[in-house]
A and B are shown apart, each in its own frame.
Chain A
Amino acid sequence: MKLILTLLDKTRPLFQKGGRFTALKPIYDAADVFLFSPLARTSRAPHVRDPLDTKRYMSTVIIAVAPCLLAAVHFFGLRVLAMVLVSYAAGGAVEVLLAVFKKDEISEGFLVTGILFPLILPPGLPLWMVALGSAFGVLVGKELFGGTGRNLFNPALIGRVFLALSYPKAMSSGWIEPGQGLVGRLLEYATDAVTMATPLAAAKSGTWAALPDLFFGNVTGSVGETSALAVLMGGAFLLIIGIANWRTVAAMLGTFVIVTAGIYGGDPHAIIWHLLSGGLLFGAFFMATDPVSSPIMNSAKWVYGAIIGIATALIRNFTGYVEGVMFAILLGNIFAPVLDELFVTAHVRRLREEG
């Protein structure tokens, strides 16, 4: 490490203004920042309090999704790792190209998006679609809004919604049957595996998956969302560290339970079943809590989570879509800045009246 640090320090002048490789400065900075630590502190969300900088924030999220990733490889094969690699390569390439074009720094924001994105896709999706979605998510979902910390929507979800609308057939049929037993598909690449309907789709025609299967993840679904156990492990870690805000999660899951209970007349099996199925838990812990696209005020987070929870339950039960988490979170994202505005104004007015 020392050697690399010396090397980076020595070559620094080459990349500074006037240096020989000025155009490649973003790449140099990326190497510097990724391996060591950024020199700058953030001025916009995600807001960071020392000693937790953006990079460490990102690394923590990556540690938290590790259980999901492991479960995914177990159930859906080594193909999952290929998807992660492709997602990183495509999104990273767009990020680097734009940074060079805008003569800006490469931000580490993509480290998280790049791993969350493949986890919310069907495991049988062609790799070129993974690449396209990742690139689109970074370009339109993030860079066009001004880059890391300025995006209105969660870039991974933008990438997914782009794929869902562009290639509806591939996005609604790439559900690989999960591997069975202790080894699962750990040693397989699994492209020719049998595909079948997701539990939520099957439930529409009356076949309800067993609760233990949903809990451990032995069902079809998006790569990282099937195992409720793995999501809960990672999610609990994020909540304890304080990276994911518990208010968002509580409001989202709470309202979802209430609305679902209303729809199913309080049947506890149906409530737990819906809670464990699809991408609800994954969305609640990893997507809705994204500090950039969710509101900053704690009070606003309650309303934000409630909007997502209610919308998810309604979309799942009353529309042609079997899963609604993706649209619900994007809908919540739209409201986030407005909610912040409302709650800040209310807060300021209250302070004025008191003081």
Chain B
Amino acid sequence: MAHSGPVVCAVCGGSGPCDGKGKETLRAGVWVTNPVSVQVLGICSALAVTNKLENALVMGAALTFVCVGTNLFVSLLRNVTPRRIRMIAEVAIIATFVIIFDQVLRAYYLEMSKQLGPYVGLIITNCIIMGRAEAFALSNRPVVSMLDGLANGLGYAVVLGIIGFVRELMGTGALFGHQILGAEWYTPNQLMILAPGAFIALGFLIALHNAITGVNKPEGKGN
């Protein structure tokens, strides 16, 4: 899950400090360079917790919270952090935010905490967070860094929300646990609850995204 690509700004495409405008930063995180459907990062959790819409949204919220917090602090400390230990420092900050969220969830929403299982804790190793901290927050001002964290967190949450919506609706005929499709005529598709269902749903979502943005369009296809 390690982030190993070149450090590239999602907004301007450069590797230096970015002065991107808020709107573009948001658009980049949610649509143009969506961490899940374009960069295909954070797949493990995206597939694991999306069998219910509610789980997917809470997980999206968790990642957004951690991403915003981490980006803010990494950016605030960017001029005082020694280069040599910057990654360890980032991980320490990430872990702190993750554990805060996990503890609060355990105290106030135990049911959800149990359903998400280890995946809240595993946000520490989520490459989206580390990636944004390294690629963006380390070289940008705090406010725009927070915005970048928010955008990427939302991008993740939106994708999880869509997959969770499709999987819960098809897999159980319900949304947020309320039966939407009548049990007398709708037979739940149990594949959608299982992990392969998540792969299939994500695959179709990425295909849809690519179809709209026109990536991978075959060139000069003769007939």
| A and B, direct touch (CB closer than 8 Å) | yes
In the complex, what residue of chain B is closest to A166 when comparing beta carbons? Answer: B191
Residue of B nearest to A17 (CB): B223
A167 touches B196 (CB 8 A): no
Contact with B along A156-198 (1 / 0, CB 8 A): 0000001001111010000000000000000000000000000
CB of B192 within 8 A of CB of A166, answer yes
CA distance A152 to B88 in the complex (A): 44
Minimum distance in angstroms from A105 CB to a CB of chain B: 8
Q: Which A residues lie within 8 Å of B191 (CB)?
A: 162, 165-166
Counting chain B CB atoms within 10 Å of each CB, which of A103, A165, A166 scores highest? A166
- B200-A140 in contact (CB<8A): yes
Q: Helix, strand, loop or mixed for chain A's interface?
A: helix
Of the candidates B187, B190, B200, B223, which one forms a contact with A104 in the assembled complex, judged by CB atoms under 8 Å apart? B223
Using CB atoms, name the residue of chain A closest to B223: A103
Q: Report the minimum CB–CB distance from B220 to chain A (whole Å).
A: 14
**Complex contact A170–B200 (CB within 8 A):** no
Chain A nearest CB from B211 CB (Å) reads 10
Chain B stretch 181-204: residues in CB contact (< 8 A) with chain A: 187, 189-192, 194, 196, 200
Whether the Cβ atoms of A168 and B190 lie closer than 8 Å is yes
Assuming the contacts A103-B223, A104-B223, asked whether A167 and B200 have C-beta atoms less than 8 A apart, the reply is no
Residues of chain A within 8 A (CB-CB) of B190 are 165-168
B223→A166 contact, CB < 8 A: no
Distance to closest chain A CB from B81 (angstroms): 46
CA distance A329 to B196 in the complex (A): 19
Measured CA separation A170–B189 after assembly (Å): 11
Among A103, A140, A165, A168, the one with the most B-chain Cβ atoms within 10 Å of its Cβ is: A165
Nearest B residue (CB) for A132:
B189
Point out the residue from A103, A162, A165, A170 that lies within 8 Å of B187, measured CB to CB. A170
Residue-wise interface mask of B (212-223) relative to A, using a CB-CB cutoff of 8 A (1 in contact, 0 not): 000000000001
Residue-wise, chain B 157-193 has the 8 Å CB interface mask toward A (1 for contact) of 0000000000000000000000000000001011110
In whole angstroms, how far apart are the Cα atoms of A166 and B200 in the complex?
12
CA distance A165 to B171 in the complex (A): 11
| Number of residues on chain A facing chain B (CB within 8 A) | 9
Residues of B within 8 A of A166 (CB): 189-192
Give the interface centre of B190, B191, B200 by most chain A CB atoms within 10 Å.
B191
Min Cβ gap B9→A in Å is: 34
CB closest residue in chain A, given B207: A144
Complex CA gap A162/B170 in Å reads: 14
Chain B: minimal CB distance from A115 (Å): 24
Residues of chain B in range 100-116 having any CB-CB distance to chain A below 8 Å: none
**Which chain A residue lies CB-closest to B187?**
A167
- Report yes or no: A165 in contact with B194, Cβ–Cβ below 8 A: yes
- Contact pattern, B 140-158, Cβ under 8 Å of A = 1, otherwise 0: 0000000000000000000
Nearest to A103 among chain B residues (CB) is: B223
Set of chain A residues within 8 Å of B200, measured between Cβ atoms: 140
| Closest-CB distance, A107 to chain B (whole angstroms) | 14
**Chain B: minimal CB distance from A15 (Å):** 12
B196-A165 in contact (CB<8A): yes
Which residue on chain B has the smallest CB distance to residue A164? B191
A204 to B196, CA, bound (A): 28
Q: In the bound complex, what is the Cα–Cα distance between A162 and B189 (angstroms)? A: 10
Q: How far is the CB of B60 from chain A (nearest CB, A)?
A: 26
| Complexed CA–CA distance, A103 and B222 (Å) | 10
Q: In the complex the two chains form, what is the Cα distance from A166 to B191 in whole Å?
A: 4
Q: Which of chain A's residues has its CB closest to B192's CB?
A: A166
Residues of chain A lying within 8 A (CB to CB) of residue B192 = 166
Docked complex Cα distance between A208 and B120 (Å): 50
**Residues of chain B within 8 A of A165, CB atoms compared:** 190-191, 194, 196
- Give A162 to B190 CA distance when docked, in angstroms: 10
A168 surroundings in chain B (CB, below 8 A): 190
> Is A167's CB under 8 angstroms from B223's CB?
no
User: Could you tell me the distance in whole angstroms from the C-beta of A228 to the nearest C-beta in chain B?
Assistant: 31
Q: Which residue of A lies closest to B200 (CB)?
A: A140
Q: List 17 A-B contacts (CB under 8 A).
A: A103-B223, A104-B223, A140-B200, A162-B191, A165-B190, A165-B191, A165-B194, A165-B196, A166-B189, A166-B190, A166-B191, A166-B192, A167-B187, A167-B189, A167-B190, A168-B190, A170-B187
Residues of B participating in the A interface, judged by any CB pair closer than 8 Å: 187, 189-192, 194, 196, 200, 223
Which residues of A are in contact with B by a Cβ distance under 8 Å?
Answer: 103-104, 140, 162, 165-168, 170
Could you list 14 further interchain pairs (A-B, Cβ under 8 angstroms) beyond the known A165-B196, A166-B190?
A103-B223, A104-B223, A140-B200, A162-B191, A165-B191, A165-B194, A166-B189, A166-B191, A166-B192, A167-B187, A167-B189, A167-B190, A168-B190, A170-B187
Top 7 A-B pairs, shortest CB-CB distance: A166-B191, A165-B191, A166-B189, A103-B223, A166-B190, A168-B190, A167-B187
